[in-house]
A and B are shown apart, each in its own frame.
Chain A
């Protein structure tokens, strides 16, 4: 990879992808937990998730637990591949120096 993936390159989106990558395949993370991990504001996190969703890197699902709405975010296979490639790119830079 000569140029880093601009979608993942942004720091908040990189953290989102890393947090989702740590889960077993097919698992989703609740929006509130993702917010705690990434340390972003609700609006900021929502905007970055939308960007990742539009790129096909994450899937967003909304449901209800009782009467409480819940947003679940999971990583798509395409997102896993892109994230792995980005991490390999970072490791390559360190290895080359």
Chain B
């Protein structure tokens, strides 16, 4: 039994395609519970900001701590706990810290002039991050990101008042994350 170079090349293409699909499905599957967790946090954070704006900073700090802790617990549910000990652990933690730093640094340099800007910016950033992730890891993230960006811009320009705006962002940002997480579970 011997193969021609054409047959060998065709087999290698099949190998690459199967690896790509498997890797993509694995990523969707592993992302799902994290998206549902952060979607819930998003709803509580924006909802709380809209209803009790005076406590928003403390609320968000508490929620971020819960989110990071929850993420660690979700990863620990994994049998070998790879994400805590492997190369992904510090990268994921560093990525979250970078995003938080970027949001707060932007607020410090380019101070929002009203609550709507304060609400819209993280939602836009999240939507763009989804699209960026999707360009590397799969179309579903791109679709979810475009939906979040479009709905964020709609809310910013079409909805008046801080409370309705915050509730809109709670609904679309958090809702989109939870729906995306549920969608990924069906892959």
With A and B bound together, what is the CA distance between A19 and B21 in angstroms?
Answer: 7
With A and B bound together, what is the CA distance between A24 and B75 in angstroms?
Answer: 14
Which residue of chain A is the closest to B6 with respect to CB atoms? A97
Instruction: Describe B's contact surface by its main secondary structure.
Output: helix
Instruction: Check if A3 sits within 8 Å of B8, measured CB to CB.
Output: no
Which residue of chain A is the closest to B18 with respect to CB atoms? A18
Q: How far is the CB of A29 from chain B (nearest CB, A)?
A: 7
Kindly identify, within residues 82 to 101 of chain B, every residue whose CB is under 8 Å from any CB belonging to chain A: 82, 86
Instruction: Check if A87 sits within 8 Å of B14, measured CB to CB.
Output: no
B117 at interface, CB cutoff 8 A = no
Q: Which of B22-30, B38-46, B126-134 contacts A (4 or more CB under 8 A)?
A: B22-30
B interface bracket (residues with beta carbon within 8 Å of A) = 20 to 34
New A-B pairs, 7, CB < 8 Å, besides A19-B22, A22-B20, A29-B26: A11-B11, A14-B11, A15-B14, A18-B14, A22-B18, A22-B23, A90-B3
The 16 listed contacts between A and B (C-beta, < 8 Å) are A4-B3, A9-B1, A14-B18, A15-B14, A18-B15, A19-B21, A24-B86, A26-B79, A33-B25, A37-B21, A87-B15, A90-B3, A90-B9, A90-B12, A94-B12, A96-B5
